[in-house]
Amino acid sequence: FDDKLSKKAFTLYLRQLDPRKRFLLQSDVDELGAFAEHIDDELRRGRMVLPDAGMQILGERIQQVRAMLDPIMNKGFDPEREDYLESDPKKISWAADRKELQDRWRRVLKRQVLDEYLNIVEKKKEKKTPTTEKQGKNITRSKIWKTAFDAVHKRNIHYLNRLLKESRQDHYNRYFDAVARAFDPHTNYMPPTSKEDFDIHMSGSLEGIGALLREDDGHIKVVRIIPGSAAEHQGQLQAEDTILSVAEKDGEPVDISEMRIREAVSYIRGPKGTEVVLTVRKPDGVKQVIPIVRDVVRIEETYVKSTVLKDSHGEKTGYIRIPSFYRDFNAARDAEKGRNVTEDTRSALVKLKKKGIVGLILDLRNNGGGALTDAVEISGLFLSGGPVVQVKNSQGMIRVLEDEDEHVVYDGPLIVLVNQFSASASEILAAALQDYGRALIIGGEHTHGKGTVQALVDLNRNLPLLHLKKYDDLGALKVTIQKFYRITGGSTQYKGVEPDFVVPSMLDYLKSGEKYMDNSLPWDTVPGVKFAPWQGARFNVYTAKKRSVDWIAKSKKFQEIKAMSIKAEERREQTKIADFLEGMKKERAEAALARKEMVAAGLIDQDSDPDTGRKKEKKSLDEELAEDPFVGLASFLMDEFTSAGRIIGKVQ
């Protein structure tokens, strides 16, 4: 850890301290900049000054912005004055003085008020009936403006108050994480709450009530109830309920209003079999006390899903979606039987084979990775033994991980779908199947490019010194310890996996992937290892590519995807946004048109939430796949090559 790494850590720390450049002045940045080359020295001494200095300066500036809020809002805004707001923080300089900072907040608040005003107007139009239209004449434009002003004022007061409640520990957590991420993007400090979230992500389960929550103007609201959860079985807690207080059975209730959602959740979660008592306010204003016995909440979106697709000849193609490489390490450590992705995939394959499938589509899109062991074991379900991936540690020692089981669970034709959000373990699986010639890989220009292995260091287990006990839970450190390489020698790091042929995607315009991340490790190679290419059913890549190009050219949906991706790229480049009424109306009209085009193209649902893109009523897996152009292309290829007997062929 030297001055060079210290500068990287400082840059990351500053970005986390004030990410949108709405509080610190240039003079503050200069003052804190004195620490830029000394973070390494601070850590060696064991006495950190920067997080305390940052906390003090930020706190003072937040107080000053809080004092600016009333004068700005009381003065009001000219909605017709042609202002613009730069939305990309990288293109904004730090404010030179408080006057410039106040003008920046004036523009931000004006945009928020105009946005709120237009939201109210649009909602009134949607709800208009003959009766409400008559009543609406009494609601003047000025009343709508006042409603918008009040909502924005209240929201920002809550936001600033919440920032002021950040603890010294929060600031140190931010500092430690910046130091960790200076090494590479996947080395992180994880405070206790983040460690808990990581365990939930890896296992696909948690112990609690099973309700998705959000913050709303200082209150904790229920967004939805997870199917099969304790809350659903109890039956009284519903979406849009506001949780006012939380208590353990026979315990004193804790008021969670004005509480940050992470803190509120810590009171609601708890061990299986214990009872939590929620006091909620229903949408109609009625208060209700709801007791719920906590249970294990299975997050079904995490788990393997499968179905059967039928082609034009009545032939069956299997489909398996692997959302992540989950494994319950805590259960394994405690000698319990936890759920894991390998066994779920094996089970899905066995069921699909019994249904008589002639081909299989394996969907790894949006799979961010997970357990390395499962990437190797799932590869083995499709291969008859042999090396899967090479792993190199920091000393340069290389270990080859192999599929040691020669039994193949599925030996038929295989197509793998990937995209820019397929990362880590999913890239290992895709790369191995590609290198063996075992599968045809279809996707965007490249996968994510995360070719590193992390270990989770539990700081409580690894620092058992008695004098540290007073600090309670220290959290964990996620550390990059290894890099993995394909059996052909190239790393998946930075470059990712290049599909056998590239198809148009709505993700093409995104600058997403390891190569776009701060401090990402470079691509390199190691010597390849010997392996025997797959001798069973396989696609002729050259012929498949040619047939795909023809199919995509005739596909209306893919042509629409191409056109919309270009438009999305143009919109992404336009970071300067309107801060006046007519300009914002124009932006909204353009966004509505883009959404209408996407609905018409079947890329999003008519009934999806325009703010989140999520479906209000979840479709079945079969309904989803019927509208998915990538699955359509894969099904076409499987149909073409199985029916015509063109599966067997030399990969070119």
- Active site amino acids: 424, 435, 450
Q: Is 614 left (phi over 0), alpha (psi -120 to 50) or beta?
A: beta
* C-alpha torsion sign, points 365, 369, 374, 376: positive
CA distance 435 to 431: 6
Number of neighbouring beta carbons within 10 Å of residue 81: 10
Taking alpha carbons only, the member of 626, 648, 394 closest to residue 537 is 648
* Residues 6+ away with beta carbon under 8 Å from 176: 189
398-403 and 452-458: which strand pairing?
A: unpaired
Give me the torsion for CA of 420, 422, 423, 427, rounded to 10°: -110
Q: At what angle do helices 425-435 and 372-380 cross, to 10 degrees?
A: 30
State the DSSP code for 368.
Answer: -
Alpha carbons 357 and 428: distance in angstroms, whole number: 25
Is 183 within 8 Å of 480 (Cβ atoms)?
A: yes
CA distances from 586 to 9, 126, 569 (A): 41, 19, 18
- Cα separation, 349 vs 622, whole angstroms: 17
For residue 541, which amino acid is it? Answer: V
First to last CA, the chain: 47
User: What radius of gyration do the chain's Cα atoms show?
Assistant: 27
**For 340, which DSSP code?**
B
306 pairs with which residues across the strands? 320
367 Cα distance to chain centroid: 10
Tell me, letter by letter, the H, E, C secondary structure of 380-443.
Answer: HCCCCCEEEEEEEECCCCEEEEEECCCCCCCCCCEEEECCCCCCCHHHHHHHHHHHCCCCEEEE
Contact 541, 647 (CB under 8 A): no
